[in-house]
Amino acid sequence: MAVLFASLTGNDITKSEQMNTIISDRQKALVTESWKSFTKHGDLPDLGIPMFLKLFEDHPEVKSLFSFMRAEGISSKHPQFRRHANRVFEMIGSAVGSIDDLDTFGDVLKELGANHYKYGTQSAHLPAVGNALLFALEKELREEFTNEVRNAWLSFYSVVSKCFSDGLEKKIKAMEDDNS
């Protein structure tokens, strides 16, 4: 089953569309081990903020989706920014912790995707988020972030983002049906 959403970018996440979304045991171990190592580098907000800064740098058009970014001059030290980075990275940690049961955790991700409808999120944003996540992981893990680890994260993110996208698209369709 391939990832079904379009990309805003032409980098790694787009290439992962060709990958099978089944994650091998080796890839599960690599994602789990690298996440443990990653989270030893600091607290979740400090680890998550670089992902969002990269996302906003590469795709400034998504800033308006984040209430804490609508005001000019919001810094990465802003409490709302830090709370959001923390919540996102807690969810990533939960997904990593559920890596052996992503079918069940997929329901949580689908609900999360549906909830993001109200913010104007689109499935087309997900590859950019994935690339920003890879950036944050690589920034902290450095030489530990090998091609094999990167590919494991690509497979993992393909599954996670597919579930999120499914929930979001189902909500979009339901809202369109209600409005017709």
Give the model confidence (pLDDT) of 91-124 as tens digits. Answer: 999 999 999 998 899 999 999 999 999 999 999 9
45-95, pLDDT tens digit by residue?
A: 999 999 999 999 999 999 889 887 776 666 788 889 999 999 999 999 999
Q: Quick one: pLDDT at residue 124?
A: 95
**12-175 maps to which CATH number?**
1.10.490.10
What pLDDT score does 3 carry? 30
Q: Kindly write down the DSSP assignment for every residue of 19-62, as one continuous string.
A: S-SPPPHHHHHHHHHHHHHHHTTS-HHHHHHHHHHHHHHH-GGG
Residue 128 confidence (pLDDT)? 96
Q: Across residues 17-43, what is the average pLDDT? A: 87
Helix (H, G, I), strand (E, B) or coil at 72: coil
Residue 53 confidence (pLDDT): 94
Can you give the residue ranges of every domain in the chain? Answer: 12-175
Separation CA 30–CA 16 (nearest Å): 17
In the predicted model, is pLDDT for residue 7 greater than 70? no
